Each structure stands twice: as C-alpha cells, then as structure tokens.
Copies of this chain bind each other. A is one copy, B any other.
Amino acid sequence: MRITIIGSGNVATHLAAAFKNAGHRIVQVYSRAMQNAALLAYHVKAEPINDLIQIDPETDIFIIAVKDNAIGVIAEQLAVHQKLMVHTSGATDMFALLAFADNVGVFYPLQTFSKTKEVDFRNVPLCIEAANESIAKQLQELAQTISNKVYCIDSAQRKILHMAAVFACNFSNYLCAIAQQILTQHQLDFELIRPLILETAEKVQTSLPANVQTGPAVRNDEITMNNHLQLLKDTPNLQDLYTLLSQGIIKLDIERHGDK
C-alpha cells in the first residue's frame, strides 16, 4: 500500500519502519518540525513535509500517529483528500475521525515504544476498529503484513485496554523507578534487581499474575511490612503507596482463597 505517516514520535517511527520492512511504500512523513520529519522520512525513503498543505493526495491511507489532543485538528484538514484515515491512539474514540469523514478507522499498536530500542513488530498486538466492514477488511489485511497478532477491538473496549496497559506498563515502570531511587539513595546498583524485574514479567507470560503473586503482603507478613514502612518513614508518599498496594494484594488473596 501507499502509506502516509502523520507524526514522527515513537509510534510513528516504529510503525513506519515496520510498514517499510513489509514492502509498503511510505509516501510522506509529516511533522510540525521539519527536522523530525526529515529524520524519519530519510529512514523510510519518504518525502518529509512540515505543512499539511504539502500533502500528496496520491496515497492509500493516512496514519495519524500524533498526540491525542492533535488528532481532531489534523483529521479535519486531511478529510478533504477523502482517503482512508486512521489514528493510533488507545485513549481516543474513533468518533474523533468520524466527525470529519466516513472512511476512517483505528490502528492501535498495544506496545511501549522507545526511540532507542528495536521492537519485533510481529509480536505487537494490533487493535483494529473500522467505520464499516470493507474498511475493517482492508485494515486487517494491512495489519497482518506487519503483525501476527491482529485483534478487532471497538472504541469502548480499546479505552479499557489502554487503561489496563497504564496499570501493567506505565505504573509498573514507575514502581521500578521507585526501586531505582531507593537503591541509589543507599549506594546500591540498580543492576542488582534487573534479573528480578525480567523474571517477574516472564512469569506472567504463561501464568496469570493473580496466581503467581509473591511477597510479604500475600503472606500477610506484618513484621516485614512494618519494617518496610519504617524504612520509608522519610517519604510519606511512598508509605501511602506501600500501604495501598499491600492492602490490595491482601484483598486479592482473600478473594481467591477466602478469608483465612
């Protein structure tokens, strides 16, 4: 397909590369900052543009991979070309595009991307939504050229999925950042707990997390929990967090096993 990429952030970059590798033609890359457009366009052999007036209408699909609050403005301007357009946002309703055109859908890659780390796109779940059956088929075919995991997910479900991802990814990473901070304050190397973090994630690849919960809270080990709260006495925010998370784990265990 001929694909136009709107945006130059992490999602735009990884998607553009995956499409290019799958043999599609990237027509143009748009970014407000010409420098960013040029960098990504260079990698995927496309034309960089920094003004939507320069859009080449000879394309099959506009992939809008920009900040959520910019999707509407851009969609409105692209609608004049009457081409298929999709956004890539987990948190945004398909209606953000339907307000301006009929020929729309959503192409949401459920993964965390960073500029410096390659991702194997074949394992990235792609969540597809479309304004009609024919678009759904097109998007599904396009998705299958880059991923083995294509799901049809409507806007309501996608918002749930995105929120679940915030817990499992963004918040988990923050807990690792807290661990990093605690270790650094005590001259301990973050390297010490890297294997633990990886194993924790690998465990839930085959098990359900509620079934493999470990630690003082699930054992209801009050002595250790109180010792930890004592160690956190200078950071009341972390004490609150520790308490709330531990209470949640205790409650989780009660729900599974009954009150012991």
CB within 8 Å of B: which residues of A? 67-69, 91, 110-112, 114, 116-117, 119, 123-125, 127, 149, 151, 153, 157, 159-183, 186, 188, 190, 192-210, 212-219, 221, 223-224, 227-228, 231-232, 237, 240-242, 244-245, 247-249, 251-252
Rounded to whole Å, the gap between the CB of A101 and the closest CB of chain B is: 23
* Contact between A110 and B215, CB atoms less than 8 A apart: no
State the 10 A-B residue pairs at the shortest beta-carbon distance, nearest first. Answer: A170-B215, A201-B201, A176-B209, A168-B179, A164-B179, A177-B209, A172-B172, A177-B210, A167-B179, A169-B200
Give 28 CB contacts A-B under 8 Å: A67-B219, A68-B221, A69-B223, A91-B224, A111-B196, A114-B203, A116-B207, A117-B203, A125-B195, A127-B192, A161-B193, A164-B178, A165-B179, A168-B178, A169-B215, A170-B216, A170-B217, A172-B175, A174-B217, A177-B209, A177-B213, A190-B208, A194-B205, A197-B204, A198-B201, A198-B202, A200-B201, A201-B202
Copies in the complex: 2
Determine how close the nearest CB of chain B comes to the CB of A40; give it in whole angstroms.
19
